[in-house]
Amino acid sequence: MSEILLTGFEPFGGDPRNPSSEACSMLDGEVVAGHRVRALCLPTAFKVAALKLLRQMARQRPALVIATGLAVGRAEITPERFALNFADARIPDNRGRQPRAKVLVRGAPLAYASTLPVDRIVARLHAAGIPATPSLSAGAFVCNELFFRLRHATETTSLRVGFIHVPYASEHVVVRPGTPSLPLAMIAQALRLAVQTSLE
Ligand code: PCA
């Protein structure tokens, strides 16, 4: 059976949990639209995360790759439109690296568009009563870097790949009172629908 690769990140920035990897693991092993979902948790670290993802893709040869991460402060599920060839970290990553105003890949385009059907995903989530909106950019931290390297590596292929930022999970919000959040089960359902929509 062909496979879908779904990735999330380990906790970072002092937070004890990261809903992105937790929601992905909730889907691990599930069959969605005839494809087996495999979840992978990536280290929140520049370069290392992308290396691990690309290695897994070479082994697994998935039919679709959706990477996800936490965007603290966002209230909705946000499929990203563009990956930027740029890193500018406000905080160090989990290995202490903090690139400031750096080009990621010299000679590569300034940006790549997602090859996921971003607007159809958002419409599908709205139809399911899940708050969602397209986002222009994944920022300039590890999530954007992963998305950029993923797009760069697949530019000459027909593989659909993209990135979705998720809000804080309501189950974790006790750590950050007042932060916008969605229940983990809703985040997982959003990812399931995003996979389905991307395969249509
Ligand atoms: N969010 C961070 C990195 C890991 C994660 O889950 C980001 O938005 O870059």
pLDDT in tens, 171-185: 998 878 899 999 999
- Output the average pLDDT for the chain: 97
**Cα torsion at 9, 32, 133, 78 (round to 10°)?**
10
**Which residue CA neighbors atom 7 of ligand 1 most closely?**
143
The yes-or-no answer on residue 143 being catalytic is yes
- Condensed to tens digits (0 to 9), the pLDDT of residues 115-167 reads 999 999 999 999 999 999 999 999 999 999 999 999 999 999 999 999 999 99
The pTM assigned to this predicted structure is 0.98
How many angstroms separate the alpha carbon of residue 44 from the centre of ligand 1? 7
How many angstroms separate the alpha carbon of residue 2 from the centre of ligand 1? 28
pLDDT confidence of residue 128 = 98
pLDDT at residue 56 tops 90: yes
Domain map of the chain by residue range? 3-199
Instruction: Tell me the fold of 3-199.
Output: Aminopeptidase (3.40.630)
Element (H, E) at 60: helix 48-60
pLDDT at residue 64 tops 90: yes
**Cα torsion at 152, 154, 156, 157 (round to 10°)?**
-170
